[in-house]
């Protein structure tokens, strides 16, 4: 297995794993177990972003990372919107272990204002949205700068989504690859 578990103690990140509870766009838990995994290559890039954020007195808070292919189907069946969700027939970078949804928090653990909540499926969530406050635009630019400097690509429709370049070279993975199932 090329997935590694990302933990608060081991990586210095915070978690708000949206799909492990009901506080997500489906209104119910998608995962049965709270866990965060990334492909070893993506975990290395995340470590670089964590170090760069720390220099600024900031930390990363992760909403989602590896998403078993089965979970992508659950989400797609609920909201088949290709502007915000990858069609599971094509596969998501999340289901390859090479994407992460995250935000920045300050030294006290407070989320920086990004203009929308995570998974707000509206045009306000687009990286280039000028309809959010100037502060939110600056914070999005800061996150974008940290993540791209660490080697991540971004998805223009979601300020929170980052993925590895050439993500399709990684295979789609299901829940069965995990040491303990999430689904």
* Active-site annotation, residues: 158
Beta carbons of 155 and 161 less than 8 angstroms apart: yes
Please answer whether residues 75 and 65 qualify as being in contact, where contact means their C-beta atoms are separated by less than 8 angstroms: no
Token digits of residue 134 = 């100037």
Can you give the length of the chain in residues? Answer: 183
């Amino acid at each position: 297995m090329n997935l590694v578990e990302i933990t608060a103690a081991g990586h210095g990140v915070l978690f708000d794993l949206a799909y492990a509870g009901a506080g997500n766009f489906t209104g119910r838990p998608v995962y049965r177990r709270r866990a965060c995994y990334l492909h070893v290559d993506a975990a290395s890039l995340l470590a670089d972003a964590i170090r760069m954020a720390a220099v600024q007195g900031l930390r990363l808070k992760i909403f989602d990372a590896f998403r078993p292919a089965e979970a992508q189907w659950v989400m797609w069946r609920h909201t088949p919107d290709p502007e915000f969700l990858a069609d599971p027939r094509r596969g998501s970078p999340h289901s390859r272990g090479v994407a992460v949804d995250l935000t920045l928090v300050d030294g006290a653990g407070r989320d920086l204002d990004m203009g929308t909540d995570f998974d707000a499926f509206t045009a306000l969530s687009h990286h280039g949205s000028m309809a959010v406050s100037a502060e939110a635009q600056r914070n999005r630019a800061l996150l974008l700068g940290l993540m791209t400097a660490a080697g991540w690509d971004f998805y223009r429709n979601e300020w929170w989504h980052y993925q590895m370049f050439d993500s399709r070279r990684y295979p789609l993975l299901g829940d069965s690859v995990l040491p303990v199932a999430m689904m």
